[in-house]
Structure 1
């Protein structure tokens, strides 16, 4: 009996030890969104300095560098090449800034929408509009993009994340995560999991979906291909987790009311078949392409295959250190880049 009690106590202590977060940055003001570009972490402070975006190199002694201030309550961060897209709540718009030419300032892309999060599929940017209870999309390659409604009738959509052709949506007031197939002309909302407490940010690592439960003060996860009906707790005792991003098998978390960014190792959660990605998004650019395409968001080298839209394989190989692929030999047309974990990226060859 004594040995049993000791064993149970050891297991409890072990669980607590391995489920604790490490502080990355403290003393922030309502950090809400974050994203990676390489080893640089960009984060938005919702009402810090009237809304500002800063960055840190997570591989060196951390010294935050302010990117831009007075963004009218910034929210939602996503990269397309060197352009960082984000929302401005007060001005109800989607904007961008070229991080390679910051003095050029902010460019407004579209107004009349209150965004929370973004997901990118080629040139199509998906937007969760939590006031309108809808998902919209725009073509960011257009010189005059217009809002296109994708689906409505949601319950405060916050975080969104793409997995293959499915867009996962956290419905904050609905306490559920749902999904739609973006290839459908009139997509139907399907429930993925319910009874999550105020789901906010979403983040994919391969087939594992991490969910920030803001009202539950915890992060949970689920394998979306395993037909699971409930989530597994990843870490608890957080202070209103909001944004999620992954780098080097570590999950970074913005704690909105904790005024900090923390992280936790997730290597034990990810199977060897899972691809390690940054912030649930793997981007391909330029698109359209002429000679080369670059894959942004992968940490490890991965095998790839290129298919025509009819499903015929035309090329395969292993991504090199610069994560570029020579596509100059391809004929003009639409292709699909398939990574070994099942993630697919569409691109156009000029």
Structure 2
């Protein structure tokens, strides 16, 4: 009896190790596949700051001293110069038809609908403005050297600079999510502040980043451009103790300065890569499986079909391959069969009503 128990224990230990190994290899395979999905949108000598107006991506080319735009909705787009001859522009932010940009001597604005935009000086600054962020009628910007965050009212003629936060360590990039202003710091942290709060309490979100020069927020995630390490990472800001997940790294991205998101695509200003690249972040959802111990797929691995057991009601389903392509969809009820005979051999993910995701393997052998 004791020998049988020992054998059974050894068997389950081996199975557990095999499952862990398969999971690790699967994650590696998926991340490798995801890295291959990075593509070049346009070339640029030194792209640095990004922002969107509908389908048009506006960006700064610091070395050329220009602000440009590109229509991301068309194939093989070309850049259009909006304004040239600027003295090392660094940051931009769009508010309706107005584009605000920072030079060494101040913050300016132009009307992007004009054929020949006329720059208007909004306010003089005595420090380098590395980032701009707009909420309603207020424009926020950091003073990296002195550790301040300031704002101006962009609806006012000759606005005054109002300092709202002091005593920070090298604030470098700003990004809004509702009333919360997220601040990245050059020493590797991201913090946030509720701008409607009277207390101005700074809450640290994450540390351990490397030169987080740019951020972009969508849903519950902050995507971060880590310049010195040439990588893109993300964190879940809904978690109390988020962890850093690297999604792209060198050589798939080189010297990322800023990020922007349009629909499900992440756009990356690669200053050392001399280009703006793009990456479909919807494929990342496949790595975030929501398990459900009551819902199971069998047989798994399979050849011609699978059954889903444990459904309490009819569900919409979609099946994705490991690079995020939807290969099948439909409606299923408990113990109903899904044919898989036309699928190629490999790993797939069954997604039920945007909730539960189950993994299965198609194998004809």
TM-score, with structure 1 as normaliser: 0.71
5+ unaligned residues in a row in structure 1: which ranges?
272-350
Q: Output aligned runs, 1:18-167, within 5 Å.
A: 18-48=34-64, 51-60=65-74, 61-89=76-104, 92-112=105-125, 113-167=127-181
1:245 lines up with 2:260 in the alignment: yes
For 1:256 and 1:109, the matched residues in 2 are separated by 27
Looking at secondary structure, tell me which structure has more helix per residue: 2
For 1:262 and 1:168, the matched residues in 2 are separated by 24
| Cα deviations by residue, 1:134-183 (Å, 9 ceiling, x for unpaired) | 110000011120100011222221111111221100101x2101111111
CA contact (8 A) 2:83 2:117 kept: no
For 1:119 and 1:4, the matched residues in 2 are separated by 43
Tell me which of 223, 239, 255 is aligned to 1:226: 239
Tell me which of 171, 193, 197 is aligned to 2:185: 171
Q: Give the Å deviation of 1:184.
A: 2.4
Q: Give the Å deviation of 1:269.
A: 3.9
Q: Give the Å deviation of 1:188.
A: 2.2
4 and 228 in structure 1: CA distance in 2 versus 1, 3 angstrom threshold: closer
Tell me which moved more, 211-220 or 18-27.
18-27
| Cα deviations by residue, 1:52-75 (Å, 9 ceiling, x for unpaired) | 111111122311111111121112
For 2:172 and 2:162, the matched residues in 1 are separated by 18
CA contact (8 A) 2:82 2:117 kept: no
Q: Give the Å deviation of 1:192.
A: 0.7
For 2:178 and 2:239, the matched residues in 1 are separated by 15
For 1:123 and 1:23, the matched residues in 2 are separated by 35
Q: Give the Å deviation of 1:131.
A: 2.6
1:185 lines up with 2:198 in the alignment: yes
Q: Output aligned runs, 1:257-336, within 5 Å.
A: 257-269=272-284
For 1:3 and 1:151, the matched residues in 2 are separated by 50
For 1:101 and 1:116, the matched residues in 2 are separated by 26
For 1:4 and 1:166, the matched residues in 2 are separated by 39
Larger gyration radius, structure 1 or structure 2 = 2
Q: Give the Å deviation of 1:253.
A: 0.4
5+ unaligned residues in a row in structure 2: which ranges?
1-16, 287-365
Identify the residue that residue 222 of structure 2 maps to in structure 1. Answer: 209
Where in structure 1 do 4 or more consecutive aligned residues deviate above 4 Å?
1-11
Q: Indicate the RMSD between aligned Cα atoms, in angstroms.
A: 2.3
